[in-house]
Homo-oligomer: A and B are copies of this chain.
Amino acid sequence: MGGDFGVSVSVPAVRRALFLCPDLRIFLTGGSAISDALRKSRLSGDPRVTVVEADSEIESDSDPIDDLKNSAGTSMRAAVELVKSGKAGACVSGGNTGALVAISRYLLRTLSGVEHPALVTCIPSLGNSSGRSVMLDLGANLHSSERDLVEYARFGSLYAHHILKISEPNVKILNVGTEFSKGRKEIRAAAEELSSDSSVRFTGFMEGSELFSSDADVIVTDGFSGNIALKTAEGFARTLFKSHSGRSPIAKLMSLPLKWLLGRRLRIFSPDRYNGAALLGLSGIVVKSHGAAGVEAFANSILAARDLVRSGIMPALIKSTAEPSN
């Protein structure tokens, strides 16, 4: 039910995901709008799709703490409960991020020793051989302590290892400078701790300017700055695409091939391609889709959830949090 477009995106996205991975089984949680949307997408009666009725929904602009208190009977809570009961391998939601984090933490519990689960996704990178960097946290936590940042580095390494199949992922922390004296105290402390952590290949700081071109396989950041950085790049691309070259007919004509070529190039960096951020640090898999995702982007987040289930990252996370590092 979540996201900016509700079932008009999520149900066609389910159809697309089932087309690409015919062996998926999908639960849809929510109200009567689902049955109508299933009919329109010619999915009624498909044995791979099960509807789980839920009366109400979480609002997009509400407070996460209130959401948690009033979450009984909501479609979001019903989806996370399916993961808790073991009926579903993962939950995908396009709804309110704060509420999803709060409900998932409450129902699924954090793994042993984990204080703050983190949202992680892959962004395109031109600087390393896989063409992608794992980035976290993307907004599960607005503040990150030294301990959180160290944990993100470990989670990110496991993600890069299990999802991108990189044997010794190179980890960097996003900062306002690359020298060790630069940045917030908790960042400098995390860097020092990671330098002597044998489970992580930490290679230093990076600046915002290298976000899409560094050799880092894993980019560690607090959720606030991470959210602002990714959204800035997204908005900049859109602004660049829309900005006028001039008002004369010649300038307008010349801007046509630019728009076409720029559109092709920007597609590499489209957030739709890396939609689906995993919430790591819980006893189950939860994936957050961008609220404004279209059908293809939402389908990508369903496929991301499937990849996470199959990757073996959950047993690795449980093992890594159970035994102390160093």
User: Which A residues are within 8 Å of any B CB, using their own CB?
Assistant: 60-63, 98, 126, 139, 142-143, 174, 176-177, 179, 181-184, 207-213, 221, 223-225, 227-240, 242-243, 245, 254-255, 257-258, 261-262, 264-266, 268-269
Complex Cα spacing A56 to B63, Å: 55
Instruction: Given A126-B242, A240-B265, A261-B245, check contact A235 B254 (CB 8 Å).
Output: no
| Chain B residues positioned under 8 Å from A227 (CB to CB) | 176, 208
A142 touches B176 (CB 8 A): yes
CB<8 Å pairs between A and B, sample of 7: A208-B227, A208-B228, A208-B232, A213-B238, A225-B228, A232-B233, A257-B261
B257 touches A232 (CB 8 A): no
| Chain B residues positioned under 8 Å from A177 (CB to CB) | 61
B228 touches A243 (CB 8 A): no
B209 touches A234 (CB 8 A): yes
| Chain B residues positioned under 8 Å from A239 (CB to CB) | 126, 212-213, 269
Complex Cα spacing A260 to B236, Å: 19
The A interface, classified by DSSP as helix, strand, loop or mixed, is helix
B176 touches A228 (CB 8 A): yes
Q: Please, which residue of chain B has its CB at the minimum distance from the CB of A176?
A: B227
A231 touches B209 (CB 8 A): yes
Complex Cα spacing A232 to B63, Å: 29
Q: Please, which residue of chain B has its CB at the minimum distance from the CB of A257?
A: B257
Complex Cα spacing A181 to B208, Å: 27
| Chain B residues positioned under 8 Å from A143 (CB to CB) | 184
B264 touches A262 (CB 8 A): no
User: Min CB distance, A306 to chain B, in Å?
Assistant: 28
Complex Cα spacing A1 to B239, Å: 37
| Chain B residues positioned under 8 Å from A142 (CB to CB) | 176, 183-184
B235 touches A209 (CB 8 A): yes
Question: Which of B181, B182, B211, B258 makes the CB contact (< 8 A) with A236?
Answer: B211
Question: Which of B62, B209, B268 makes the CB contact (< 8 A) with A232?
Answer: B209
B231 touches A233 (CB 8 A): no
Q: Please, which residue of chain B has its CB at the minimum distance from the CB of A227?
A: B176
B237 touches A265 (CB 8 A): no
Question: Which of B182, B231, B266 makes the CB contact (< 8 A) with A240?
Answer: B266
Q: Please, which residue of chain B has its CB at the minimum distance from the CB of A214?
A: B235
Complex Cα spacing A223 to B233, Å: 18
Given A211-B235, A224-B225, 6 further pairs, Cβ under 8 A: A176-B227, A209-B232, A211-B232, A236-B236, A243-B268, A245-B261
